[in-house]
Amino acid sequence: GIHSYDSVLIDVKKFTNAGATIVDIGGQSTRPGSHIIPLEEEISRVIPAIKYLLKTYPDILISIDTFRSEVAEQAVKAGASLVN
């Protein structure tokens, strides 16, 4: 679902406290049959989230969950380490 940055930070804190070193971020559902959002909307969801997370958790590895090469490319430029 859609989350605020504050709720994402709370979740990431829980994950890192439990030992997680990678966080997977996606701007839209990739399940079969899900509604496809416009490219620009997906980018506007994930890029600010990646930058925000890396400010708070600079050592966390971020994986971008997308089927679009444009989103993956911009996510890596923003600091994502992996493409899922």
Q: Show me where the domains of the chain are located.
A: 5-83
pLDDT at 37: 94
Contact partners, residue 27, CB within 8 Å, separation at least 6:
37, 41, 42, 43, 44, 45, 46, 66, 71
pLDDT tens-digit readout, 20-35? 999 999 999 877 888 8
Say if residue 1's pLDDT is above 60. no
User: How does pLDDT run across 18-73, given as a tens digit for each residue?
Assistant: 999 999 999 998 778 888 999 999 999 999 999 999 998 999 999 999 999 999 99
For the cut 60, the answer to whether the pLDDT of residue 17 exceeds it is yes
What pTM does this model have?
0.84
